[in-house]
Amino acid sequence: MKRIYLVRHCETVSQDPESPLTENGYKQTKALAHFFKTKKIDAIRSSPFRRARESIEPLAQQRNIKIIEDERLTERVLSSINLQDWYEKLQKTFIDKELRFTGGESSHEAMNRIVNVIEEISKSNHKNVIVVTHGNILALLLHYYDHTFGFKDWEKLRNPDVFELEIGYEAQVRNVWN
């Protein structure tokens, strides 16, 4: 049995890859470390975006676990151009998984990217792993394991948020963040 904790990063100043956490976000990192206090953790993988790394750094330092950065955990790019109606367009990509906008990736492409990370972890020797990523790509991963998870569920994701994915005979995912 593998246990993978899927973490959405803490509150951030902006969506820029090098954006720091907000003051509240830094407080949330302590709550996140406290949440994992009694849980066995063998490895930590994170998006290289600053907000993801900073979200898990206090725990990694407490446990003396090196954070492995993985480009495949970066947020999904909806488009390389500024879309004024990005919210509506994002919603459409939850319905049509092949829909792609200029310079962006489809839901299907982004989902495959993060599923590959999970499949690698499931084949590794690690039994308890934390994966820190971003809201849209996390929602796509959750949809992969639970087809009922959709756009409305994405809207309800919090910063931070934690889901536990158990991979055994079957894969089961559930929200575990209070």
The residue ranges of every structural domain in the chain are 2-175
**Residue listed under structure tokens 């963040």:** 177
What is the per-residue pLDDT across 64-79, written as a single tens digit (0 to 9) for each?
999 999 999 999 999 9
**Contact call for residues 29 and 58 (beta carbons, < 8 A):** yes
**Residue listed under structure tokens 């406290």:** 34
**pTM of the shown model:** 0.96
Distance between CA atoms of residues 149 and 65, nearest Å: 31
What value does the mean pLDDT of the chain take? Answer: 96
Least Cα distance to 107 among 119, 120, 90 occurs for 90
What is the per-residue pLDDT across 20-44, written as a single tens digit (0 to 9) for each?
999 999 999 999 999 999 999 999 9
**Contact call for residues 167 and 4 (beta carbons, < 8 A):** yes
What is the per-residue pLDDT across 134-146, written as a single tens digit (0 to 9) for each?
999 999 999 999 9
To the question of domain 2-175 being in CATH 3.40.50.1240, the answer is yes
Q: 20 preceded by cis ω (within 30°)?
A: no
Integer angstrom CA distances of residue 110 from 86, 100, 168: 17, 11, 24
